[in-house]
Amino acid sequence: MLKRFSVSLEDGLLADFDEFIKRRQYTNRSEAIRDLIRKEFVQEEWGEDKEVIGVITLVYDHHQFQTLERINEIQHDHHQMINSATHVHMDHDNCLEILIVRGRASGVRELSNRLIALRGVKDGHLAMSSTAQGL
């Protein structure tokens, strides 16, 4: 069930918000406000160390000594958190590893930090999401 409410904003803030809506291609202000509220709740879940879902992406040089072995070792150490792993050969030297992970926020962050900090990892990112239980 949808409920309506009104929001008062200064002219400049509303203009900035409308520009944000246009850039992100929202169909209306309500959709944008709902997404912003949900994102705040996701941040809260991560801050309260709740059960969360995330995606860890790694780009690494597979020629770098023992990088792949260390990535695999860390994944095996945290197998209970890893729901899915995808490996992509980007070119002759570089690989992309995508991990879908689920667990307590602190554990997911620790796993992500360990992987991203490995020698040979050129880029790494943790995209934080929610189990959607409270959204």
Q: Model confidence over 40-64: pLDDT tens digits?
A: 888 888 889 999 999 999 999 988 8
User: pTM value?
Assistant: 0.81
Task: Output the pLDDT for position 47.
Answer: 86
Which amino acid, one-letter code, is at 73?
Answer: E
- For the cut 60, the answer to whether the pLDDT of residue 134 exceeds it is no
From the candidate CATH numbers 3.40.50.261, 3.30.70.890, 3.30.70.1150, 3.40.225.10, the one assigned to the domain spanning 51-130:
3.30.70.1150
Contact criterion met (CB below 8 Å) for 116 and 124: yes
pLDDT band at 92 (very low <50, low <70, confident <90, very high): very high
Nearest to 7 by CA among 34, 26, 38: 34
Q: How far apart are CA 131 and CA 66, in angstroms?
A: 34
- The answer to whether residue 6 scores a pLDDT higher than 60 is yes
pLDDT at 115 over 90: yes
Q: Is the pLDDT of residue 135 over 90?
A: no
Q: What is the pLDDT of residue 95?
A: 96
CA distance 54 to 43: 12
Position 74, amino acid:
I
pLDDT interval class at 133 (50, 70, 90) = low
**What pLDDT was estimated at residue 31?**
93
The pLDDT score that the predictor gives to residue 125 is: 97
Sign of the Cα torsion 85, 89, 90, 95 reads: positive
Give the separation between CA 4 and CA 125, rounded to whole angstroms.
Answer: 37
Q: Supply 121's token pair.
A: 């990892």
Mean pLDDT across 14-28? 94
